Amino acid sequence: MSNGVTIPRSASGYDLRPLRGEARERAAAKLSPEERRVLLEHGTERAFCGTLLNNKHAGVYACRLCGLPLFRSDVKFESGTGWPSFNAPFDPAHVLNIEDNSYGMKRVEIRCARCDGHLGHVFPDGPPPTHLRYCLNSAAMDFFEDGRLPEQKTAD
């Protein structure tokens, strides 16, 4: 509780209050031009160029803008598409699904539930048990090896 207001939290305990205004701008000031293009302008990095594509370490992938954990390394798989791919989010409440009809295609965009940063897209052609393929931009995420936690940039 903050100032008598209940803070919305995910099942995994993370603060899900929207990161907006000055707090979001402070976090965005630390982004590179490519990270801004992807996260804030809904861009996509080129296939097979992302820094996290071949990462095989155990840990957590978090939103580069606000630090919200997005995916665990144990659900990452090689999709052959050129982007880091996962079959389930860290916590379903951490990822928003948004209908995306751009470029003459019908897709589902995924965004960070806290800061609304563009992460990538989700497709129904992944491996069991979910049969989902969350296709992510490396520029949208930071990786934290087991034992390290991402700094949380929240609405406070």
Query: Hey, which residues does 86 pair with through a beta bridge?
Result: 76, 134
Q: What is the pTM of this model?
A: 0.92
Question: Pick the residue with more confidence: 134 or 102?
Answer: 134
Asked about 135 being catalytic, the answer comes back as yes
Please state, in angstroms and rounded to a whole number, the distance separating the CA atoms of residues 79 and 102: 23
| Per-residue pLDDT at 134 | 97
For residues 74-92, average pLDDT: 97
Residue 156, token pair as written in the block: 């406070």
Q: How many CB atoms lie within 10 A of CB 9?
A: 13
Q: How far is CA 89 from CA 36, 111, 149, in A?
A: 22, 12, 17
Q: What is the pLDDT of residues 128-156, one digit of tens each?
A: 999 999 999 999 999 999 989 899 998 87
- Is the Cβ–Cβ distance between 84 and 55 less than 8 Å? yes
Ordered domains of the chain (ranges, CATH): 21-145 (2.170.150.20)
